[in-house]
Amino acid sequence: MFMENGTSSANPSNKTFWKKHPYFSKGICSFCVIAAGIAFYFILLRIEIVNSVLYKFFDIIDPVFYGIAIAFLLNPLVKNLEKIILKWITKKSTKEITHKQKSIIRSFSILIAVIIAILIIYLIASFLFPEIIQSLDNISKTLPHQIDSFNIWMSDILINNKILSLNPDEVLSSVTSYITNWLQTDLTKKVDLWLGYITNGLAGAIEIIFNLVIGFACSIYMMYNKEKFFAQCKKILFAFLKPAHANSTIKISNDSLDIFTHSIIGKIIDSIILGFICFAGVKILHLPYPVLISFIIGLTNFIPFFGPWIGGLPCGLLVFLTADPIQTIYFGLFILFLQQFDCNFLTPKIVGNYIGLPAFWVLVACLLGGGFYGVMGLILGAPIFAICYQLFRNFVSHRLENKKLPSETSEYLASAEVLQHSIKANE
């Protein structure tokens, strides 16, 4: 029961207890700190067991992460479908749309988005993967003959060259043997290994299919109840933070999600378009393995800065070994044109300025991400670094505004005397 002044009748006794026993609360805090320190020490002693438990835990909830990723990728499509259906209904009827009708529209939009995703997966599985597997199989079978042809071609060049004809045996033994050994030992083994992973990975494929099925179910629930999930997150923030800090955290989270969504999904669309353009170009140039080359170029385009080189070099080597050397030059020029077209036109049109990182910081982000987390670090390094870059830039601008200093970088290009005069003028 509450008293007339709005305070609880139990509060005075509680306050009196804490006033009479001030060291009791300090003792509880000290005990909790010591207990937490001891627990942390034992965790460090059993770090291998903790790692195995965490690995097992994340392995069990893998479908949930699949669901989050699927919901993240499909949510923009669902939102656009909802807007189109709502716009069509408002044109046909002047009545206000009820909550039940909105739920039906969302369910229908999610159904269409899931069907589109399943169709895309089916097309990839039925057309793209068999072509890639067949291309890798052909490469593994014809590579020894191509290596022998390359050795004969290299030997003819070295023998007929007047400069190198002074000592052709030494040149042939040092150059061709090195290239031959590298191609026969390293490259052939890796091609066979990759082909074995693709053709014999039945258990891994079953696990991925299982995770995808459960992930699709989780993603449907997440997309249908996304407002409820966001409301629960806001509720937790306001419970543990001050209202001003909670609102700032929500704004930062929304901006970060916007950057991440546009950069990842925009890069996916960009890579798909680039893969189709590459396929058309390879077909026009009559180069071998057009599907495999286009898949590699499109896949590595996810990686900023290093992507064109990571995909272009092995494809160029493949063209060099399976086609005429002149066609390798044509392919290199085509990839250079494709990379310039993507950097200067396609990516700015699709992704826009959501990443907003200068080229130097994109390079730093790729180096840090790739060094710590490999391929996933290369892909996700730039958007994550862009979020950190944006947060730090906003923090610096806020600090400068509190000091009544200019926040534009151009203001600091002037000399110290001019800058000091400008600061005094603003004061």
CB 18 within 8 A of CB 25: yes
Cα 209 from Cα 62, distance rounded (Å): 12
Rounded to an integer, the average pLDDT of 193-198 is 55
Check residues 15 and 274 and name the one with the higher pLDDT: 274
The pLDDT of residue 179: 59
Q: Give 357's contacts (C-beta < 8 A, 6+ positions apart).
A: 365, 382, 385, 386, 389
pLDDT computed for residue 248 by the predictor? 86
pLDDT band at 138 (very low <50, low <70, confident <90, very high): confident
Identify the pLDDT of residue 122: 84
pLDDT digits (tens, 9 = 90+) for 309-341: 788 888 888 887 777 778 888 888 988 888 888
Q: Is the pLDDT of residue 198 over 60?
A: no
pLDDT value for 1: 39
pLDDT of residue 160: 61
**Is the model more confident about 403 or about 291?**
291
Listed range (32-46, 125-139, 228-242, 289-303) with the worst mean pLDDT: 125-139
At residue 201, the pLDDT reads 52
pLDDT at 6 over 50: no
Residue burial 112-145, b: 16+ Cβ < 10 Å; e: rest:
ebbeebeeeeeeeeeeeeeebeebbeebeeebee
State whether the Cα torsion 76-79-83-85 is positive or negative.
positive
Q: Which residue has the higher pLDDT, 351 or 14?
A: 351
Kindly report the three-state secondary structure assignment for every residue of 257-289.
HHHHHHHHHHHHHHHHHHHHHHHHHHHHCCCCC
Check residues 388 and 146 and name the one with the higher pLDDT: 388
Q: Letter for the amino acid at 292?
A: L
Q: Could you tell me which of 313, 287, 314, 321 has the C-alpha nearest to residue 154?
A: 321
What residue segments make up the domains of the chain, in order of their start?
Answer: 18-60, 357-427
What is the C-alpha to C-alpha distance for residues 268 and 103, in angstroms, rounded to an integer? Answer: 29
Whether the Cβ atoms of residue 150 and residue 177 lie closer than 8 Å to each other: no
pLDDT at position 11: 53
CA separation (Å) from 108 to 88, 103, 129, 171? 14, 9, 31, 70
In this prediction, residue 187 carries a pLDDT of: 55
2 secondary structure, DSSP code: B
Lowest-confidence pick of 257-261, 296-300, 409-413:
409-413
Q: Which of 6-10, 188-192, 315-319 has the highest mean pLDDT?
A: 315-319
Place of tokens 């997150």: 233
> How far apart, in whole angstroms, are the C-alpha atoms of residue 330 and residue 126?
31
Tell me: pLDDT of 277 over 50: yes
Please tell me the predicted confidence (pLDDT) of residue 178. Answer: 62
Q: What is the mean pLDDT of the chain?
A: 76
Question: What ranges in 124-201 are assigned the alpha helix state H?
Answer: 129-160, 168-171, 177-181, 188-200
Confidence (pLDDT) at 58: 78
pLDDT tens digit string along 385-421? 888 888 888 888 888 888 777 777 766 666 565 556 5
pTM surpassing 0.85? no
Report the candidate in 187, 210, 126, 197 with the shortest Cα–Cα distance to residue 321.
Answer: 187
- pLDDT of residue 170 exceeding 60: no
CA distance 305 to 294: 18
Task: Reply yes or no on whether the pLDDT at 4 is more than 50.
Answer: no
Q: Which of 107, 103, 183 is nearest to 142 (CA)?
A: 183
Listed ranges 114-118, 138-142, 350-354, 393-397; the one with the highest mean pLDDT: 114-118
- Please report how many Cα atoms fall inside a 13 Å half-sphere around the Cα of residue 66, on the Cβ side: 17
